Structure 1
Amino acid sequence: MISLHLVNDTPYLVQHSWASAATQYVSAVGSGDHTADTANTAFTGTGVVSGYFTDILTGIDVTTGDSRPTVAVLGDHLVDPFADATTPGLATRRLSDDLATALRTNDQGIPDYGVVATGIENNRLAAEQSQGGPAALTRLDRDVLALPGITTVIVDEGLEDVVAGTDDVVVEGALATLVAQLRGWGIKVVLATLTPCQGYAPCTATVDTARTDTSTWITDQVDFTSPTVSYVDAEAVVSVTDTTSTADPQPLKLGADAAPADFDSGDHVNLTADGYVAISGAFDLGSLGPDA
């Protein structure tokens, strides 16, 4: 529980709009500072704002006595999350959540590294936009380099860029710049391939070609020189061949079998909770720590 006291007029508040099941209790205007209250009296009947968001608070730093390394997941793999009712919704887990759970519950003796979600819904690699916020390259210092103990960054962005019509050469250039900057700061990088979008209206044949070309480029980036560069093939984990397509070759689409193989949220581009679990299971958890 975090208590905040706002003094004077506060017309604008920073909001974290993707905080699962957060609840905010608001005291009466002008009632004073209640941050030290141990009872709920000041927050009864004066208004409760509940939802998947928090105002002001956008993160919590947790320190440990053993200088535990930090892993950041840059991106959230979301494409147009508010587009329509078929998208997974605000309660859907993210890759960072599942990786944190996998580390915490692993029986391989792998340390429970700190995992930080640095995704913004609708975010792009190099293009600024209103709903998607600052581009990944623009916000790198704020959302990644400023994290304490950061050693590894998982890059799970690029699909939104491609679906929006960005050429694969431009996306690959942005990824190359991102990788170079992170390695320049001594940070190892794990790239995620771009998952299928077949059946999603903006995902034309040209767009899907750009997607597959970008994924191929990603798989060619492996470098064992420290800080290392590797990849996880997210595409392979959640995709099946679209046998109904008349194209040659037939494109890939998100698998939509019975749970836990139901990876398509319904709009053919956003992932289900099982989709995120499947991708997190493809990671070599032991490789997420700092280079030996």
Structure 2
Amino acid sequence: MPAQALITAVEVQPETPTQAIAVIGDSRVDGMGSTPGTDRRWTDRLAERLAARPGPALCVVSQGVSGNRMLADGIGTAALARFDRDILATPGLGHVVIAVGNDLFFSFAPRTEESAGFLSMFPGPSAGVDDIVAAHLQPAARARAHGVQVHAATIAPYGSSEMYSAEGDRAREQVNAWIRTSGAFDGVLDFDAVWRDSADPTHIRSGLHIGDHLHGSDAGYAALAESIDLSLFD
């Protein structure tokens, strides 16, 4: 069983002043698909990159919960409901990254005999594009009120996964366009651009997912981490 399922948090006293980057997200932040016990989530790789560069110390706090949604409970408390506890209460908080795509995935997922049992774990009304936009704006405002910068990740492709629908993918493109162009965030982590297959942008490139067309492989998460402009956190 992964250690993060047993440990709520580990706090240490840094030797030098340190700022925290807190990431709220779902299974792609939790690192589902990466090799267990090897710290190959994209948040781990980002922390390695930050530790290797000169300058002020920055740490990365991963608050990814597999199955998590922004607006409604399901597997774990909804991201908006746990935001103060898991993100704003982080000691030394300087930056927040929002990376949650499940509201969209589950809302537009095909209701089939095979998917019915899984989707039953996620009750509540469906979320449309306007709902997902509003769900990003609320934590952004709350974080800025605490004097920290806010960044958002675009939602990476999921074509051929069990959750995929053409309608959901159109909604994903609309949400991503808003994240990129709205100016609502201090920075954008364009994970969609990193993972998408140029031959079919609805799909993750071969080798970057674990075979389910949804979750990253070690190489996929490494690609996300390498794509992040570290100057966002200066």
Shorter-chain TM-score range: 0.7 to 0.9
- Counterpart residue number, 1:253: 203
- Counterpart residue number, 2:78: 135
- Counterpart residue number, 1:239: 196
- Counterpart residue number, 1:62: 12
- Counterpart residue number, 2:208: 263
Distance, in Å, in 2 between the alignment partners of 1:281 and 1:222 is 23
The alignment partner of 2:79 has SS state of coil
Distance, in Å, in 2 between the alignment partners of 1:94 and 1:229 is 23
Structure 1 residues 88-97 or 231-240, which shifts more?
88-97
Tell me if structure 1 keeps the 8 A contact 2:34–2:218.
no
Structure 2: stretches of 5+ with no match in the other structure: 108-126
Matches within 5 A, 1:9-158: 18-19=2-3, 53-54=5-6, 57-78=7-28, 88=33, 91=36, 93-106=40-53, 109-129=54-74, 131=75, 133-157=76-100
Distance, in Å, in 2 between the alignment partners of 1:275 and 1:219 is 21
Tell me if structure 2 keeps the 8 A contact 1:193–1:231.
yes
Tell me if structure 2 keeps the 8 A contact 1:110–1:286.
no
The alignment partner of 1:69 has SS state of strand
Determine which structure has the larger helix proportion and give its number.
Answer: 2
Structure 1: stretches of 5+ with no match in the other structure: 1-16, 21-52, 82-86, 244-250, 257-261
* TM-score w.r.t. length of structure 2: 0.83
User: Which residue of the other structure, out of 127, 141, 148, is the alignment partner of 1:180?
Assistant: 141
Deviations 1:223-259 (A, max 9, x none): 6xxxx6210111111111345xxxxxxx431000xxx
Q: Which is greater in Rg?
A: 1
- Counterpart residue number, 1:34: none
The alignment partner of 1:144 has SS state of helix
Distance, in Å, in 1 between the alignment partners of 2:150 and 2:142 is 10
Distance, in Å, in 1 between the alignment partners of 2:71 and 2:82 is 10
Shift in Å, 1:18: 4.0
- Counterpart residue number, 1:272: 217
- Counterpart residue number, 2:130: 169
Distance, in Å, in 2 between the alignment partners of 1:127 and 1:79 is 18
Shift in Å, 1:286: 2.6
Shift in Å, 1:89: 6.2
Q: 1:98 to 1:89 in 2, by over 3 A?
A: closer
The alignment partner of 2:9 has SS state of coil
Shift in Å, 1:127: 0.8
Distance, in Å, in 2 between the alignment partners of 1:255 and 1:105 is 28
What RMSD, in angstroms, separates the aligned Cα atoms of the two structures?
A: 2.3
The alignment partner of 1:60 has SS state of coil
Q: 1:71 to 1:80 in 2, by over 3 A?
A: closer
Q: 1:76 to 1:128 in 2, by over 3 A?
A: closer
The alignment partner of 1:118 has SS state of strand
- Counterpart residue number, 2:232: 287
User: Which residue of the other structure, out of 215, 239, 243, is the alignment partner of 2:176?
Assistant: 215
The alignment partner of 1:138 has SS state of helix
Report which structure shows greater RCO (CA 8 Å, sep ≥6).
2
Paired AA for residue 180 in structure 2: T
Q: 1:278 to 1:80 in 2, by over 3 A?
A: closer
Distance, in Å, in 1 between the alignment partners of 2:44 and 2:24 is 13
The sequence identity of aligned pairs, in percent, is 29
Would you say how many aligned residue pairs link Structure 1 and Structure 2?
213
Deviations 1:89-144 (A, max 9, x none): 671732211111111223xx243312111111111111111x2x111110011101
* TM-score w.r.t. length of structure 1: 0.67
Distance, in Å, in 1 between the alignment partners of 2:2 and 2:98 is 19
